[in-house]
Chain A
């Protein structure tokens, strides 16, 4: 069990006419990438703002490294909000320096590190440009650097990839993984489920201000696994069908050359070991996989279940 790095305990936030967070608890292990998911208006941004102490919760508390979070802790947090921008008329370098100084970094140290990052991202020539001369993606890159520059222990990215082309998406993705590897803990909020599968170790899914699903991502996926298997084989499909006939439904047969592809759904409990053994006796197995649900499906199912409980 990894150390708990940050946790929200029964956080409640009431706005004038709606309950934004209804006793939400999350637990972010140290050194993990934590996916904070949920449909629009679910309360993700409110929770993130509470962690950043931009707003205060009505009830509950945020604990950071074992203690109740304090205003000093903002120096250890880097936050890239979804609504992010820069002063248009200010020069890129000057502005980056200003923003990192607000995060408590000295001018000299800030300058040194900015130079390093600007070289790393090969954007030195932007230093004296005004922000309004940059494209959206370019500005995002600068903002990313500003967010991570003071090497915070906790990084919070809200939709970090919007506005990036695939090359820059990859660049930023690798940076996020590298930051995790050197010890940062990352909270990552997004609607792109593919990137959740790729990056996140843990997730929490929030809907209507409630935490409806959370845990280790593999655990969550297996919780939702539909007990379906994917088989690719060479051999006689009729023979296979007859052999498995009694216990399973075979779906969706594809053929490419002599390679066949079939989805197997057991009709009742059917030990995998037995199933493989039967298949093995009748055809040549190329691959046999348990099908795990995509985060996309889990997201939709979990949200719909809470919206329309059976």
Chain B
């Protein structure tokens, strides 16, 4: 036992100490978060310098219609001469000139002149403010009373409420559940593939560098194989735990930063997270909005059964990994070099990829016959089941799937150990399936 722990230790430490592991473990959640937050944040960051836009209003009615932003100001100019303004643009210090033509209600167009490319944010700010203004104006002209205007403002959001067999009602978010199902299913697929093939490469390294005979003179081949499999599993779990912690850390960290910084700069971040479409309220209202947004997300997350999901992820990861890792180990032991792995890799890859496809399908139809069957078949169950779990799978299905998985991985480990024991000491021989079958049947 002591020897196995030595092997586990070596397998674990050599991998965890690698630069590529450290970088990937830390960077992945940061990159994911960055994909959500950074584009919005960066796009608005440049607006920190004050921009003043000169407004030439030929309709003479829009003054005050465009709200002043923290960094974006509008200055109405009386009796303007557009040509002169353009000529003196450099000295004037204006960012741009907004020209609102008299016939705006016919042309539906305004012009924004500048000596540089103006940003999307500026255009959108102007366009949505003028849209609101002229909509109200038209309604007023049609004699629609203002209080009706207020009353007909409508915004609909769909709350999905699910009742359980006990009659208890739960509020949830369909999008969130599908998202979590997808992320955990995909993560499972990635982990099994990534760490499974690490096992294979590790076995091949030992075989091709001729290390294996030295080691099996001190430990049994089975101990060496399991030490490697377990060591690499621990690497995977370490990565998973760090990712979970970092993701939550980043979520709450971002919440803290956003709630403190109440600038307009955050508008697009908010938009990317939640379709807040009422643009341009004052800063104080913004803060409240962020608070609401995060509370909303937190509430919806609260409706998701995280202990169950994480628990199942760990179980199905360990089960699925043991199953595939032992197959990968057997393949690694049977071949002399990477190119020979092809013929044996195919039957291993097909069920994993199939699992991925069924998983994507199961996100939409979690209780269809196909989804249920594939979440019971041990070769695909870890991936498919993860996509179904957030939708409250009947307990008997989880338990059955788990039991089948356990029995299967015990069987595969036994079989893989037999192939491994013979394979690691076999050099220079092209191995085929018939040969592998012979190895399985060898007695000790």
Residue of A nearest to B209 (CB): A85
A90–B6 Cα gap in the complex (Å)?
Answer: 15
Smallest CB gap from A89: residue in B: B14
Interface residues on B, range: 20 to 34
Interchain CA distance A56-B425 in the complex, whole Å: 14
- Is B427 part of the contact surface with A, judged by Cβ < 8 Å? yes
Interface of A is mostly: loop
Q: Which residue of A lies closest to B223 (CB)?
A: A102
Find out whether the CB atom of A81 lies under 8 angstroms from the CB atom of B213: yes
Expressed in whole angstroms, the Cα–Cα distance for A103 and B218 within the complex equals: 6
- The answer to whether A83 and B217 touch across the interface, beta carbons within 8 angstroms, is no
Contact check, B219 vs A102: say whether CB atoms are below 8 A apart. Answer: yes
Contact A85 B211 (CB under 8 A): yes
Looking across the interface, which residue of chain A has its beta carbon closest to that of B14?
A90
Q: Does A101 contact B (CB under 8 A)?
A: yes
Closest to A102 in B: B218
Whether A77 is near chain B, meaning CB under 8 Å from some CB there, is: yes
Asked if A2 is at the interface of the complex by the 8 Å CB criterion, the answer is: no
B214 contacts A81, C-beta separation under 8 Å: yes
Check A87/B205 contact, CB under 8 A, given A56-B444, A77-B217, A102-B219.
yes
Taking the complex as formed, is A54 at the interface, i.e. its CB lies under 8 A from any CB of chain B?
A: yes
B216 surroundings in chain A (CB, below 8 A): 54
Contacts of B210 in A (CB 8 A): 81, 83-85
Complex: A79 Cα to B213 Cα, angstroms: 9
B141, chain A: closest CB distance, angstroms: 79
A108 at interface, CB cutoff 8 A: no
Q: How far is the CA of A74 from the CA of B438 in the complex (A)?
A: 28
CB under 8 Å from chain A, chain B span 206-238: 206, 209-211, 213-221
Contact of A88 with B215 at beta-carbon distance under 8 Å, contacts A56-B444, A98-B10, A102-B6 already known: no
Closest beta carbon of chain A to B22's beta carbon, Å: 16
Per the CB 8 Å criterion, the residue count for chain A at the interface is 28
Interface flags for A96-132 (1: CB within 8 Å of B; 0: not) read 0011011110000000000000000000000000000
The distance in angstroms between the C-alpha atoms of A54 and B220, with both chains bound, is 7
Asked if A74 and B218 make an inter-chain contact with CB atoms under 8 angstroms apart, the answer reads yes
Bound complex: CA of A49 vs CA of B426, how far in Å?
A: 13
Judge whether B292 is part of the interface by a CB distance below 8 angstroms: no
CB-CB nearest in chain B for A79: B217
SS class, residues of chain B in contact with chain A: helix
- Which chain A residues (53-111) contact chain B, with CB distance < 8 Å? 54-56, 71, 74, 77, 79-81, 83-90, 98-99, 101-104
Query: B109 at the A/B interface (Cβ < 8 Å)?
Result: no
The answer to whether B211 and A98 have CB atoms under 8 Å apart is no
Write out the residue numbers on chain A whose beta carbons fall within 8 Å of the beta carbon of B60. none
Cβ contact of B6, chosen from A56, A87, A101, cutoff 8 A: A101
Closest to A57 in B: B444
Does B209 lie within 8 Å of A87, measured CB to CB? Answer: yes
From B7, B209, B219, contact of A88 by CB (8 A): B209
A166 to B209, CA, bound (A): 25
Bound CA span A246–B417, Å: 72
Q: A84–B427 Cα gap in the complex (Å)?
A: 13
Give the residues in chain A near B213, CB-CB below 8 Å: 54, 79, 81, 83-84
Say yes or no: B211 contacts A87, CB within 8 Å.
yes
Instruction: For B140, list chain A residues within 8 Å (CB).
Output: none
Question: CA separation between A228 and B425, bound complex, in Å?
Answer: 46
Q: Does A211 make an interface contact (CB < 8 A)?
A: no
B86 interface residue (CB < 8 Å to A): no
A8 to B427: give the CA distance in the assembly, Å.
Answer: 26
The answer to whether A143 and B14 have CB atoms under 8 Å apart is: no
Instruction: Assess whether A99 is in contact with B209, with CB atoms less than 8 Å apart.
Output: no
A167 at the B interface (CB under 8 A): no
B residues within 8 A CB of A77? 217
Interface status of A182 (Cβ within 8 A of chain B)? no
> In the complex, what residues of A have CB within 8 A of residue B219's CB?
102
Q: Are A54 and B218 in contact (CB under 8 A)?
A: no
Distance (Å) between the CB of B359 and the closest chain A CB? 35
Q: How far is the CB of A158 from chain B (nearest CB, A)?
A: 9
Q: Does B3 contact A (CB under 8 A)?
A: yes
- B207: min CB distance to chain A, Å: 9
Contacts of B7 in A (CB 8 A): 102
A74 to B215: give the CA distance in the assembly, Å.
11
A189 at the interface (CB under 8 A from B): no
- A52 is an interface residue with CB less than 8 A from chain B: yes
Residue of B218, B219, B444 most packed against chain A (CB within 10 A): B218
Is A1's beta carbon under 8 Å from chain B?
no
**Which residues of A have CB within 8 Å of B444?**
56
Contact call B214/A79, Cβ cutoff below 8 A: yes
Contact A143 B214 (CB under 8 A): yes
Q: How far is the CB of B437 from chain A (nearest CB, A)?
A: 11
A84 to B213, CA, bound (A): 7
Report yes or no: A102 in contact with B14, Cβ–Cβ below 8 A. no
Q: Restricting to B81-114, which residues have a CB under 8 Å from any CB of A?
A: none
| Interface positions of B from 14 to 71, Cβ below 8 Å from A | 14
* Min CB–CB distance A31 → chain B (angstroms): 22
Q: How far is the CA of A79 from the CA of B214 in the complex (A)?
A: 7
Q: Which among B14, B209, B217 is the interface contact of A52 at CB below 8 angstroms?
A: B217
Instruction: Give the Cβ gap from B323 to chain A, nearest Cβ, in Å.
Output: 27
Give bound CA distance, A270 to B378, whole Å.
84
B217 touches A74 (CB 8 A): yes
B residues less than 8 Å from A146 (CB atoms) = 214
A156's nearest neighbour on chain B, judged by CB, is B217
| A interface residues (Cβ-Cβ under 8 A, vs B) | 16, 49, 52, 54-56, 71, 74, 77, 79-81, 83-90, 98-99, 101-104, 143, 146
Additional pairs, 18, CB under 8 Å, beyond known A79-B217, A102-B7: A49-B425, A54-B213, A54-B216, A54-B425, A74-B218, A77-B217, A79-B213, A83-B213, A84-B210, A84-B211, A84-B214, A85-B214, A87-B14, A87-B205, A88-B209, A98-B6, A102-B3, A102-B219
What are 22 contact pairs spanning A and B, CB under 8 A?
A49-B425, A54-B221, A54-B425, A77-B217, A79-B214, A81-B213, A81-B214, A81-B217, A83-B210, A84-B210, A84-B214, A85-B209, A86-B209, A87-B14, A87-B206, A87-B209, A87-B211, A89-B14, A90-B14, A99-B214, A99-B215, A146-B214
Which residues of B come within 8 Å of A, CB atoms? 3, 6-7, 10, 14, 205-206, 209-211, 213-221, 425, 427, 438, 444
